[in-house]
Amino acid sequence: MCAACPNAWATGWPDNASGQCRGRPPLLRVRAQNHFMDDIVKQALAKWPNVPDCYGWLGLDARGNWYMRDDQAQALGAFPAAKGSLLRHDKLIDFIQRNYERDDAGRWFFQNGPQRVYVELEAAPLVWRIDDDFAVTSHTGERVEPTACLLDEDGKLYLAAPIGLGLVHTQDVGLAAEAIEQGRWQPETVAAESLPVRFGHVLSPAAGQLKA
C-alpha cells in the first residue's frame, strides 16, 4: 500500500506510521469476517491514529468490481481508463466492503486498519443489485429503500438511497425497467456530471489530492 505501511491490509502496522504515503503495494491478507466494521480495524485506529492516507491504489467500477492499482497502473492513467488488477479473493473483497465508508468531504474510502485507502469511482460510490421482487441491495450487501430514480444522458440508471447514490448493475436494468413500468420508481432525467455535486460524492479523490 504505502512505504509508511509495508504490512498493510489488516496485517498489523509498522512503527514508522508517521511516514509519508509513497506507494508501496500492499500485502493482500485478510482477517475473520464481521458484520460491521472489523474489531481489528477499530483497534488499529485507536493505536495508530495518524497514519497517512493513500490515494489512487483502489478503484470501484460500474459493475461493483474492485481493482488494485499499482504504480504501473497509475502511471498508465486515471481510473477507469487504467483499471489495474481485478480483485478476485472473496474474503478480501468482503473485508473491503465491510469497511467501506465516506468522509465528510464525500470521498469514499476503505478503512484498512488505521489507514484510509481512498477509492477511485467509475460511476458512483455504490452499485445496486435488484431482486425479482424489486428489493434493492448495494454491492456491499446492504438492503435499501430507494428515495429517487435518475436517468442520465447515456441511459445509465441510478437510484438514490440514504446511504448514497448508486448505479443499477447492467444485468439488472431489465428488472429496473419493470419497476418503472409498474410505477414503483419515477425516473428523473439528469446530467451525469451533476450527480457528484448533488449527492455529495467525489469520483476521484486522487485527482483532488493532486490539485490540493
- Given a cut of 90, is residue 200 above it in pLDDT? yes
pLDDT band with cut points at 50, 70 and 90 for residue 80:
very high
Q: What pLDDT is recorded for position 119?
A: 98
Instruction: Name, in order, each residue with C-beta under 8 angstroms of 196's C-beta and a sequence gap of 6 or more.
Output: 106, 202, 203
- Given a cut of 70, is residue 210 above it in pLDDT? yes
Cβ atoms of 147 and 140 within 8 Å: the answer is: no
pLDDT tens digits for 36-47? 555 655 565 555
pLDDT band with cut points at 50, 70 and 90 for residue 212:
low
* Pairing between β-strand 157-161 and β-strand 148-151 as defined by DSSP bridges: antiparallel
pLDDT tens digits for 113-159? 889 999 999 999 999 999 999 999 999 999 999 999 999 999 999 99
**What average pLDDT does this structure show over 192-209?**
97
Three-state DSSP state, 5:
strand
**C-alpha cell of 153?**
444522458
Q: What pLDDT is recorded for position 113?
A: 84
Cβ atoms of 125 and 61 within 8 Å: the answer is: no
Entry pTM = 0.80
Burial 149-168 (b: 16+ CB within 10 A, else e): bbbbeeebbbbbbeebbbbb
In sequence order, the β-bridge partners of residue 111 are 116
